Chains A and B, each alone.
Chain A
């Protein structure tokens, strides 16, 4: 029997707190889960530094990837089964793309990618197309199959319906992470009626659409996204941890550039500092490795790296004040000068952070075809964009609230054993 059609003798199940069970019957999926590249996702947290704010948020990208797979499996096997617009031949492609959509994520990937100018989507592609265990499994299906999976994940596959299951404004990826992140952070937002959404999904040529009768469930999903953004993803304390993490990486990179003699050699980082690394180098890095370095760098000679790592490991985070850049941008220059006078390097200790630094997406009605919106399927078979039918969605998809903060080490500024007057001036400007 063809590999693509082979089933396990008995269905395997993974117990899951969000979906109760994750069901695996296809041998290809079982083999992919067993690859070392997929297992690596166990060592990468789904929410990066959020665990420093919500202590339960220790869940990994492994959990999430299985969850996305399970949602797509249910859509393919239950919701779309037998519908003329759904081609059953696309089932395995959809499942593999769902399972592997995050396989290229690195450790603490948001900051990591920004500092080292990387893109996890490029690594996802390399893992699927390069000499990896994942590629070996996919190639057994068909020589051209890895390319197909990579194109679905990269959103450049011609089958837009399959792409939209994994990447659209209401897709399996978002449906899983909202519920999973809500569960593990313990917040009461983020919950919505996924069962209802699945029941009203209908396949169309270019995307999934939703029966109008299910509009309220879709509204609820949009509201969950909105609330999770402000309550969890953009939580100011999480942002503070992220700021610190980013500064550690910047400092380590800068020291690497200066050929600084590290007491604890960052063997895993050398090629990354130079931005000349292979997929193999990248895959060796996970959060366990990163946290090891943060631990030992607490004993480095460089005072900045040592201090930043000590803060991160022991959760002595930067404090923050609200900052209106439009009115206060001159104040920022003044603060930079005062920080320098106080002997506190503003490059690492005075950080401006904006909501655009964390682009989790809100719902966009795509009024000018920037993005494809969510469509409701009316009884007349006409498609109507969601915000035109829903007052609630219309209200939150107009002008967005934005947020800016200034982060700094309050303990250093409060320490009056040196540069007392300058520090007082800084505190007066910051109003702390």
Chain B
């Protein structure tokens, strides 16, 4: 029961705190793409891969009292901060999630900006395309974010680092 919820809680527990819904979405997508067994289905949206299932599971975890969501005003918009609660920790012990390398991976991602993770997740979304085609997709689909060639190269290098870390 709640196996998929528990995996997400594993990510919150590993990070201590995750700030930003967009960041959370991209972190789980990237983790899934590099072989962690998250089952949420993602689709491509305006800001890159997005999972409604993930959003609903996080809402359920909040309603169950397993994670805490704090809404903070930041400039002209709101930002959400997530942490695991004591009840959540107790459940997680009971659920016995077994993803030994998750902590290192999500902690590493959590130190990156949501903007960079959006780029990394988009590169991964188009991983069946050649590198030049991926860059072209990013320049057309994400023209407002104005990613540079250099940032795209960094994204590729970052994906390699993440993959090495789990091998």
Contact = CB atoms under 8 A, between A and B. Distances in A.
A395 to B, nearest CB: 16
Interface stretch (B9-17, B45-53, B104-112, B154-162): B45-53
Given A325-B1, A361-B52, A400-B59, A368 B64 contact: no
User: In the complex, which of the residues A206, A326, A400 has the most CB atoms of chain B within 10 Å of its own CB atom?
Assistant: A326
A369 B47 contact: yes
Contacts of B44: 154-156
B56 interface: yes
Interface in A162-195: none
Interface in B82-127: 87, 91, 94, 114, 125-126
A119 B51 CA distance: 14
Contacts of B80: 367-368
Contacts of B60: 354-356, 402, 404
Interface string A19-61: 0000000000000000000000000000000000000000000
Contacts of A355: 56, 60
Interface string B131-150: 00000010011000000000
Interface string A302-341: 0000000000000000000000111001101000000000
A143 B80 CA distance: 46
Given A326-B87, A359-B53, A402-B59, A371 B45 contact: yes
A359 B2 contact: no
Contact of A160 (B2, B46, B50, B87): B46
Interface residues of A, number: 33
B20 A368 contact: yes
A102 B127 CA distance: 24
A84 to B, nearest CB: 21
A371 B1 contact: no
B2 A329 contact: yes
B153 interface: no
A90 B20 CA distance: 36
B141 A156 contact: yes
A207 to B, nearest CB: 8
Contact of B79 (A368, A371, A399): A368
Contacts of A160: 46
Contacts of B2: 325, 329, 352, 354
Given A329-B1, A372-B46, A402-B63, A158 B91 contact: no
A126 interface: no
B22 interface: yes
Given A326-B87, A359-B53, A121 B21 contact: no
Contact of A367 (B52, B57, B78): B78
A399 B50 contact: no
Contacts of A359: 41, 51-53, 56
B34 interface: no
A370 interface: yes
Interface string A340-375: 000000000000101110010100100111111000
A382 to B, nearest CB: 13
A155 to B, nearest CB: 5
A326 B21 contact: no
Given A158-B140, A368-B22, A399-B62, 13 more contacts: A156-B125, A329-B91, A330-B94, A352-B2, A359-B52, A369-B47, A369-B114, A370-B45, A370-B47, A372-B46, A372-B47, A399-B59, A400-B63
5 contacts: A121-B43, A325-B1, A356-B59, A367-B79, A368-B80
